[in-house]
Copies of this chain bind each other. A is one copy, B any other.
């Protein structure tokens, strides 16, 4: 059991031990409820057949929502990125979840991701813009480049989330790469 817990994200050997000992002392009914919750989730949760986000229906609630702008697709790495973007209430288009990023160093290529599904979607649906919202690290950059090269020849605009200084930053504490980029991408202030 300790080994099983250790494979979970954010749980080290000590936390795994604590969790295991806690379960040993737990009333049997509670432990069964937890086990059933885990099995139940695994059985109920599927990937949306359109955007590959996690859902309990064949199609997720965002893809089903007719009030959303169906001509814009935001491509993210993970389902939790959809949650983060939805929390801002600043986006009203659809999503596509890749379930990872292209990573030359870890040997993850486009064929390991939901990339084929995205390109098929772009052929079938009338999409005007693909917003790339991959992480701003090397793998996220590689994925953004791949998407741009695969999609823009079809005449679809490919954009990327702005990079620069985050809100509430002291210039003094900004990292060099971010500061250099924000200098390079500076823009005119208008009234």
| A63 interface hit (Cβ, 8 Å) | no
Q: Is the CB of A183 within 8 A of B144?
A: no
Does A117 lie at the interface of the complex (its beta carbon under 8 Å from any beta carbon of B)? no
Q: Answer whether A163 and B171 are a contact pair too, CB < 8 Å, given A157-B188, A188-B158.
A: no
Contact partner, A179, options B90, B158, B159, B172, Cβ 8 Å: B90
For A, the interface residue count at a CB cutoff of 8 angstroms equals 60
| A127 shortest CB reach to chain B, Å | 15
Which residues of chain A from 129 to 149 have any CB-CB distance to chain B below 8 Å in the complex? Answer: 131-137, 144-145, 148-149
In the complex, the count of this chain's copies comes to 2
Segment at the B interface, from A32-40, A51-59, A80-88, A103-111: A80-88
A183 and B136 within 8 A (CB): no
Q: By the criterion CB–CB under 8 Å, are A159 and B187 in contact?
A: yes
Among A145, A168, A171, chain B packs the most CB atoms within 10 A around the CB of A171
Q: Which of these, B131, B136, B162, B172, contacts A162 with CB under 8 Å?
A: B162
Residue pairs across A and B with Cβ atoms less than 8 A apart, 19 shown, are: A78-B172, A84-B179, A90-B179, A90-B180, A90-B184, A145-B189, A148-B189, A148-B190, A158-B188, A159-B186, A159-B189, A160-B189, A161-B179, A162-B162, A162-B164, A163-B182, A166-B175, A167-B175, A168-B175
Closest 4 CB pairs of A and B: A162-B164, A162-B185, A164-B164, A90-B180
